[in-house]
Amino acid sequence: MSLSRSLPVLAAALGAVLVSACGSGGSPSASHPAGEASKTAAQILADAQAALGAAGSFRIRFSGTSTTDGPMTLDLVVSSGGVKGSMTDQGVTAQVIVAAGQAYIQGRAFFAKTAGADAAAVIGDRWVQLPAGQSFGFDGFNNPKTVALCLLSVHGTLVKGGTSSFQGQPTVQVLDRADIPGDAPGTVDVATTGPAYPLHLVQTGAATPGQ
């Protein structure tokens, strides 16, 4: 459950993701997690992936620290139409839009920091389409199903933790031992009432060496 792999813009980062859904696609298994806390760790994570993928839209809030660039945050709303939100990195904030597989960024201060003052003066407050391969990974945020797959499909051995709560909502925790190359240890809180949304993901250590 490596957040650095799941969120390419935050490579080599340790942090936490908060997810809040805005609507549901309504598949029965995703919408009614009866007895979620009694299921196995693998079943709980599968339900969480299905619920997130079926959501009409959801919000991701990320905070973490990169080993190269320091603190960074994301605040994104993901829907079937794409992604819209903001990214703060190296102390500057950029607005982000992803539509039809194309990523766009706006932010004079961001371009001044990353491309220099002259480039920022030319770009100003215009939106810039990012070329393939230089889109900070945002072009992969196409829709809820894609993000659900990226966030929850890469993991090592799963262990069910105890019941807990997140922001007042009852949850059951699933722990990733990260015993495969490229994965990182982490914990996800999955809702036990309403849809089985993954409400809070925390990467708790560095990725296991290898790819």
List the domain boundaries for the chain. 1-70+145-205, 81-142
CA distances from 168 to 2, 152, 171, 186, 192 (A): 26, 23, 9, 21, 12
- Grade residue 10 by pLDDT with cuts at 50, 70 and 90: very low
Residue of 30 and 45 predicted with greater confidence: 45
pLDDT at 128 over 80: yes
pLDDT at residue 11 in the model: 31
pLDDT at 13 over 50: no
Residue of 151 and 49 predicted with greater confidence: 49
pLDDT at residue 174 in the model: 94
The mean pLDDT value of the chain amounts to: 80
pLDDT at residue 100 in the model: 81
pLDDT at 67 over 80: no
pLDDT at 208 over 90: no
pLDDT at 136 over 90: no
Contacts of 148 (CB under 8 A, 6+ apart): 49, 50, 52, 53
- Grade residue 20 by pLDDT with cuts at 50, 70 and 90: low
pLDDT at 98 over 80: yes
pLDDT at 7 over 60: no
Q: What mean pLDDT is predicted for residues 59-64?
A: 86
Q: Closest by alpha carbon to 203, among 14, 5, 49, 21?
A: 14
- Grade residue 105 by pLDDT with cuts at 50, 70 and 90: very high
Question: What whole-number distance in Å separates Cα of residue 208 and Cα of residue 211?
Answer: 9
pLDDT at residue 81 in the model: 84
Q: Closest by alpha carbon to 145, among 43, 52, 58?
A: 52
